[in-house]
């Protein structure tokens, strides 16, 4: 193993708790090096970014070189080499979001926060970044805060969003949980849940449009005959199994819709 580069003297060291938890994460995997991604998220939850000390710690625990760890940390865009503010605000500027207003939103936020791309506001609250597709094109233009969705944004709503975050008020994602700080979100990504995974709706009207159309038109999934791996059967048995699957699917749909609308007591 090569000697890692020494950490800068003014760089914060990882806490004893974080060091213990890094070992805990590594122990979860049959091959310890598979733990590197969540370990880097944990480093960010402690230090605010991937630090030299964090790279050294991961390398030592996983018996990797510092270069191997750094190669991963610089490959994935979710790992940052400079401290992030309390809230990472990512504006999607990929094709659909861009033509729906994402570029305008990004420019408005840069002016409003007086920052450039991948820079943090003077108060340390907001780090602004233009990001690639977030797989939410049906809600374009989309803004993400600490990886939670804010759909169908406008320049005005985006400015209001960052101002609310800076004021310390509670903010609820469009499809997801209440917004926590970036470091808290990184800890969740490291595999330490905050027990809010089911908070807020997970799907919106655009995502459910196909389901609603299928129900309205009476469309059903095939019974399974002719599908590789499906057991052959006569028409009666196949129909019975299809009826059972439909009943189970409709029950799940009803439960999902109840959750989406806030539960049966909403």
CA–CA separation, 40 vs 72, rounded Å?
9
Query: What's the pTM?
Result: 0.76
**What pLDDT digit, counting tens, does each position of 142-178 carry?**
999 999 999 999 999 999 999 999 999 999 999 989 9
CA–CA separation, 44 vs 57, rounded Å?
13
Residue 79: other Cβ atoms inside 10 A:
19
Same domain, residue pair 61 and 101: no
Q: Please report whether residue 265 resides in a domain.
A: no
**What pLDDT digit, counting tens, does each position of 90-108 carry?**
999 999 999 999 999 999 9
Evaluate if residue 52 carries a pLDDT over 80: yes
Q: Please report whether residue 36 resides in a domain.
A: yes
Same domain, residue pair 65 and 93: no
Same domain, residue pair 136 and 94: yes
Give the number of domains in the chain: 3
Q: Please report whether residue 191 resides in a domain.
A: no
Give me the domain span that covers residue 71.
16-75
Q: β-strand 126-131 against 143-145: which pairing, if any? A: unpaired
**What pLDDT digit, counting tens, does each position of 247-256 carry?**
666 666 566 5
Torsion sign across C-alpha atoms 248, 252, 255, 261: negative
């Amino acid at each position: 193993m090569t000697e890692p580069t020494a950490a800068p003297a003014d760089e914060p060291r990882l806490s004893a708790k974080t060091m213990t938890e890094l070992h805990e994460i590594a122990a979860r995997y049959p091959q310890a090096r598979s733990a590197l991604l969540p370990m880097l998220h944990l480093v960010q939850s402690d230090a605010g970014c991937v630090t030299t000390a964090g790279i050294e710690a991961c390398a030592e625990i996983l018996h990797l070189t510092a270069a191997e760890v750094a190669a991963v940390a610089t490959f994935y865009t979710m790992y940052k080499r400079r401290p992030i503010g309390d809230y990472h605000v990512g504006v999607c500027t990929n094709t659909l979001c861009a033509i729906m207003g994402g570029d305008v939103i990004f420019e408005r936020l840069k002016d409003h926060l007086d920052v450039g791309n991948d820079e943090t506001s003077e108060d340390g609250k907001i780090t602004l970044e233009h990001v690639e597709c977030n797989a939410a094109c049906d809600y374009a233009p989309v803004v993400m805060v600490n990886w939670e969705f804010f759909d169908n944004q406008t320049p005005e709503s985006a400015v209001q969003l960052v101002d609310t975050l800076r004021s310390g008020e509670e903010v609820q994602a469009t499809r997801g949980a209440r917004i926590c700080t970036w470091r808290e979100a990184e800890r969740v990504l490291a595999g330490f849940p905050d027990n809010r995974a089911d908070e807020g709706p997970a799907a919106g009207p655009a995502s459910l449009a196909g389901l609603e159309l299928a129900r309205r038109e009476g469309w059903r999934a095939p019974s399974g005959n002719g599908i590789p791996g499906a057991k052959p059967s006569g028409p009666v048995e196949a129909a019975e199994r299809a009826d059972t699957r439909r009943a189970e699917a409709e029950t799940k749909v009803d439960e999902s819709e109840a959750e989406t609308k806030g539960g049966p007591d909403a």
